[in-house]
Amino acid sequence: MAKNRLLGKVKGSYLFYSGLAVVLFFIILAVFAPVIATHDPTAIDLNNIFAAPSAEHFFGTDELGRDVFSRILYGSRISLFVGFVAVGISLIIGVFLGLIAGYFGGWTDIIIMRIVDIMLCFPAFFLILAVIAFLNPSVFNVMAVIGLTGWMGVTRLVRAEVMSVKTRDYITAAQVQGISGRIIMFKHILPNVMTPIFVTATLGIAGAILTESSLSFLGLGVQPPTPSWGNILTAGKDNIMFAWWLSMFPGLAIFVTVLGYNLLGEGLRDILDPKN
Amino acid sequence: MLRYIAARLAGMIPLLFGITLICFFVIHLAPGDPAQFLASMNPKFSETAYQKFEKMYGLDKPLPEQYIIWLKRVAVLDFGESFSQDGKTVTAKIMERMPVTIYLNVMGMLLIFLIALPLGVWSAYKQNSLFDKSVTVFVFIGFAVPTFWLALLCMYYFGVIKGWLPISGLTSYNFDQLSFLGKVWDVAWHSFLPVLLSVFGGLAGLSRFARNSMLEVLGEDYIISARARGLSERRVVFKHALKNAMLPVVTILGLSVPGLIGGSVIFESIFGIAGMGQLFYQAVMMRDYPVVMGILVMGAVLTLIGNLIADICYGLVDPRIRYGKK
């Protein structure tokens, strides 16, 4: 494919650029959180609880007088971390199972796809809740559980791609040369199915961030005093009568971040889709 | 058609089996057992009480044996007794809560379909128009807004500042004294916000899906030929395109069931509604294994049923599906 055409499409894609800008913005915030933060995110100041947003506290303070702006900044680290690791886990599982199912076919395929069907029957959030409550809620467990319950879509996608790539001549040629199945799968097929995986992964990060914040909101995710957008919102819900800023700003952060990843994902899809 | 349905039903059996297997082992292999948990909650929980408890619920037997015993009872919808103090059966507890959750979700689902389909179809028909672009912007917003956040904001604005809408529960304090019509009105009034928000959450996905499906159909040869034959636009869109475009949308019905059920945990906890989601949340927090497993199985089975209905609808309207699969 002509490289210039691809570049041309990248240039024309507002979706891609606006998404990329938002995503980079939040990555920079997360990386430089200690520099940007105006206060220690866990420093308690009981003389100054529920202070409304001001020049001193941009987003106000919470029920323990902690600075909400700094907490949201540090919370972005958690969200990013959970998003990337959880999606990483589901990609590893999903790509591996999808490759095997698509390449070998037959019983391997039937069994793997049945497991996918079964997993898809569960209301994912119920399954996550059940497992996370029995483990102890922690950042690590949240990532693991979101990753372990989110690989089914990737498997289906990779399998379908592999099935279509597998019949191409260059794969037959490799088989005729006696190259092992493992090498064909990973070296010859995988690179050709990466494109749709990128799109799914980007959208998956958005989903994982949303799930993490829902879990933390219910008190089953990241535990205070470690700040996460979800657990700041819990405080917002409990104090909604008199501290609107506790609900407003963390939610806004989730909204803009998720929007960013979705835009980036859709932009990528437009750029990489040969039909456009 | 009957053969098709029978084949679908037969295909569900291994799925059902797998569902119970995963439910059981996920819960039982997770660390932390309920007897220990109860003991840690209650200092008076003695060693003999502990053993009695384990025996009572069969927790002392090996896992595979526990599974077989559990499976035999699940087959007749008996999920055993809840671990909680009230000692009700799991089935009774679920049945108590299910109507509320189903009522909210069915209302939400109906509204989602009623609003999202016309939105999607019209924006596909007027592709790249101002209308289409606004719908696209709305879809991106809808996908990204955390619904529990929106719920909080709505509660704050409509409930706290304006005082227009009730923010908690499904009924007023004086519910029992109301007349029948008064009761209907009361419940409708209380469910306004929860339903509105679940509609908002589901709208984006479905309208996007309907738009894509309609776009695809509008590009097909038979639409061009219908136009070339001089049929009216109305006839082309409503009689020829719409029918085929709506086919794949039917499958979404089944696929969206798990999302709706999962979402009910958050809605019910925010609005203080005593439905399945809240029950599940409480059961999870109390490590009430039988209730957790019961709801997981029920949730998955509801999804299966949703898929089955979607498949049957699909088979009814599209003969290729009915006869195609050998």
The model's pTM: 0.86
* pLDDT tier at A195, thresholds 50, 70, 90: confident
pLDDT at residue B40 tops 70: no
- CA B269/CA B282 separation, integer angstroms: 10
Q: Which of A194-198, A271-275, B143-147, B238-242 has the lowest mean pLDDT?
A: A271-275
* pLDDT tier at B179, thresholds 50, 70, 90: confident
Q: What average pLDDT does range A85-106 have in this prediction? A: 94
Q: What pLDDT digit, counting tens, does each position of A96-143 carry? A: 999 999 999 899 999 999 999 889 888 888 888 888 877 777 889 899
pLDDT at residue B326 tops 50: no
Q: Write out the DSSP string of B143-205.
A: HHS-HHHHHHHHIIIIIIIS--S--SSSS-TTGGGS-HHHHHHHHHHHHHHHHHHHHHHHHHH
Q: What average pLDDT does range A74-94 have in this prediction? A: 94
**A259: chain B residues, CB-CB within 8 Å:** 140-141, 143-144
Q: ipTM surpassing 0.90, yes or no?
A: no
pLDDT at residue B306 tops 90: no
A130 vs B19, B27, B269: nearest CB: B27
The CATH code of the domain at A73-272 is 1.10.3720.10
Asked if B261 contacts B101 with a C-beta cutoff of 8 angstroms, the reply is yes
Model pLDDT, residue A113: 93
Task: Name the helix (H) or strand (E) containing A232.
Answer: helix A229-238
- CA A222/CA A218 separation, integer angstroms: 10
Max avg pLDDT among A78-87, B25-34, B156-165, B280-289: A78-87
Q: Which of A123, A219, A114 is nearest to B292 (CA)?
A: A123
* pLDDT tier at A91, thresholds 50, 70, 90: very high
* pLDDT tier at B161, thresholds 50, 70, 90: confident
Give the orientation angle of helix A106-121 with respect to helix B289-317, to 10 degrees: 110
A214 vs B266, B300, B301: nearest CB: B266
**B22: chain A residues, CB-CB within 8 Å:** 118-119, 122
Q: Which of B164, B93, B255, B22 is nearest to B101 (CA)?
A: B93
Q: What average pLDDT does range B16-25 have in this prediction? A: 86
Model pLDDT, residue A24: 95
pLDDT at residue B109 tops 80: yes
Chain A, nearest residue to B280 by Cα: A126
The domain segmentation of chain A, as residue ranges, is 73-272
Model pLDDT, residue A258: 94
What's the mean per-residue pLDDT of chain A?
A: 88
> What is the distance in angstroms between the Cα of A252 and the nearest Cα belonging to chain B?
8
Beta bridge partners, A32, equal none
At A261, the amino acid letter reads Y
**A220: chain B residues, CB-CB within 8 Å:** 284
CB contact under 8 A, A254 and B146: yes
Model pLDDT, residue A69: 93
**Among residues of chain A, what percentage have pLDDT more than 90?**
43
Asked if A197 contacts A160 with a C-beta cutoff of 8 angstroms, the reply is no
- CA A246/CA A50 separation, integer angstroms: 9
Q: Which of A198-202, B126-130, B243-247 has the lowest mean pLDDT?
A: B243-247
**A258: chain B residues, CB-CB within 8 Å:** 143-144, 146
- CA B312/CA B4 separation, integer angstroms: 8
Q: What average pLDDT does range B151-170 have in this prediction? A: 80
* pLDDT tier at A61, thresholds 50, 70, 90: confident
| Furthest C-alpha separation in chain B | 86
pLDDT at residue B288 tops 60: yes
- CA A244/CA A59 separation, integer angstroms: 10
CB contact under 8 A, A121 and B280: no
Q: B106-111, long-range: CB within 8 Å, 24+ apart, which pairs?
A: B107/B191, B107/B195, B108/B195, B108/B198, B108/B199, B108/B202, B108/B260, B109/B202, B109/B253, B109/B256, B109/B260, B111/B195, B111/B199
- Residue A111's contacts (CB-CB under 8 Å, 6 or more residues apart) are none
